[in-house]
Homo-oligomer: A and B are copies of this chain.
Amino acid sequence: MAAAERPETDFPMPIRIAVDAMGGDHAPAAIVAAALSAVSESDLNVRLTLFGPLQTLTEELRRQEPLGHPHIDLADAPQVIGMGESPVKAVRRKPRSSIHAGLTFHREGRADAFISAGNTGAVTAASLFMLGRLPDVERPSIPTYFPTVCGKCLVLDVGSNLDSRPEHLLQYGQMGTAFATYVMDVPNPRVALLNIGEEPAKGNDVVRTAYRLLSRATNIRFIGNIEGRDIMHHKADVVVCDGFVGNVVLKLTESVMTALPVLIRQAAATRQLSAATKEHIAGILRDVARRFDPETYGSCAPLLGVNGTVFVAHGRSSESAFKTALRLTARSASAKLTNVIGRLVQHAA
């Protein structure tokens, strides 16, 4: 079995995370900085192994912290997979990449989790190849946070899986429930199916069948169909949909925050406003925009359903965003999220 578990001990052992130090727009500087910051947090008991070309990492670590840190190790991975590379080709052609090396480390049980801010497609492909799926999980999925009027909800799938079948939608509900409960601290999360109406008979064949499967599942709290308008009003904690629909929804929502300032400026231009009022409005818009910024509402997500704990952080991750990602990764590993998912999905099969 991949990603072997360590025996339980009476002493809290640090969570060991394999880190792709070369992934993302600000790598390796931001990744190394986040790592140094994370190991210094008193409430975050982690031990990190950074993967990348050894000389590059050694120099970067020395530049930032000449003495290094006892909880940060460096491991050589001479190849780097670029953000724009074809995932499948990159995974085949670069077996010594930081993604491969980190995942191998995790698979061998030398780390409890793997995290990367690099090419999401490549991380997904390599994880499937190297860790495999959990028994019974048909389609691993990366959920995303979605900003709402009172926080955030979890939406999955948002693009990993197009043409999802009803059983996949059921499993998204189960995997989302596990993550929301054990990592997002939402007790007994409400799971809803994204549809074009509330009645069970609404929608296409796939969602109608998914409705039946979700209704029958005894290990999740399915509250029925919700419509597009309900997501932002937080009618559910976990929203389940096909990856095509979820991706369109996600990008549309992001665009609201780029279109909104334009609309507000257009409306404001017809009024006589004082400089102070304009400044207030700009400030309020910035505050609202911040809630829609991935840095705020969550810039990393787990690859749910693979046989291991794998996190994907946003390619634009700053030091602080990546540190938050490290914290969630540690939390997921500590909660043994993979086992929870394995049990939830098995139970339904």
Name A residues whose Cβ lies closer than 8 Å to a Cβ of B. Answer: 148-149, 159, 162-163, 194, 196, 203-205, 207, 227-233, 241, 243-245, 247-256, 258-260, 262-264, 266-268, 270-271, 273, 276-277, 280-281, 283-284, 287-288, 291
A149: chain B residues at CB < 8 Å are 259, 262-263, 266
Task: State whether A231 and B255 are in contact (beta carbons under 8 Å apart), knowing that A196-B162, A196-B248, A287-B267 are contacts in the complex.
Answer: yes
Residue in contact with A252 in the complex, picked from B231, B263, B266, B273, CB distance below 8 Å: B231
Q: How far is the CA of A298 from the CA of B162 in the complex (A)?
A: 32
Of A207, A228, A268, A273, which is in contact with the most chain B CB atoms at under 10 Å from its CB? A228
Residues of B contacting A273 with CB < 8 Å?
280
Chain B min CB distance to A116 (Å): 21
Which of A205, A253, A267 is packed against the most chain B CB atoms within 10 Å?
Answer: A267
Extra 11 A-B pairs, beta carbons < 8 Å, given A207-B244, A270-B287: A228-B249, A228-B254, A228-B255, A229-B251, A229-B252, A231-B255, A232-B256, A252-B253, A271-B284, A277-B280, A281-B281
A248 near B251 with CB under 8 A, answer: no
Closest to A147 in B: B263
CA distance A252 to B244 in the complex (A): 15
Assess A204 versus B271: contact at CB under 8 Å? Given A232-B259, A252-B252, A262-B149: no
How distant is the Cα of A205 from the Cα of B284 in the complex, in angstroms? 43
CA distance A313 to B205 in the complex (A): 29
Residues of B within 8 A of A196 (CB): 159, 162, 243-244, 247-248, 251
Contacts of A254 in B (CB 8 A): 228-229
A-B pairs, 6 with minimum CB distance: A228-B252, A228-B251, A229-B255, A267-B287, A162-B204, A196-B247
Contacts of A267 in B (CB 8 A): 283-284, 287-288
Task: Tell me, rounded to whole Å, the shortest Cβ–Cβ distance linking A287 to chain B.
Answer: 4
Neighbouring B residues of A229 by C-beta, 8 Å: 251-252, 254-255, 258
A125 vs chain B, min Cβ distance (A) = 16
Q: Is the CB of B247 within 8 A of A248?
A: no
**Contact status of A249 and B251, CB under 8 A, knowing A196-B162, A204-B162:** no
> Which residues of the other chain, B, contact A203 by a CB distance below 8 angstroms?
162, 244
Q: How far is the CA of A270 from the CA of B102 in the complex (A)?
A: 44
User: In the assembled complex, how far is the CB of residue A65 from the closest CB belonging to chain B, in whole angstroms?
Assistant: 37
Closest to A244 in B: B204
What B residues does A227 contact at CB under 8 A? 248, 251
A119 to B277, CA, bound (A): 45
Chain B residues within 8 Å of A163, by CB? 204-205
A268: contacting residue among B194, B204, B233, B284, CB under 8 A: B284
Minimum distance in angstroms from A262 CB to a CB of chain B = 5
Q: Residue on B with the closest CB to A267?
A: B287
Tell me the minimal C-beta distance from A222 to chain B in angstroms. 19
A-B contact pairs, 28 of them (CB 8 A): A149-B266, A159-B196, A162-B203, A163-B205, A194-B248, A196-B247, A227-B248, A227-B251, A228-B251, A228-B253, A228-B255, A229-B251, A229-B258, A230-B255, A231-B252, A232-B256, A232-B259, A233-B258, A233-B259, A249-B249, A249-B252, A252-B253, A256-B256, A263-B288, A267-B283, A270-B287, A280-B281, A281-B281
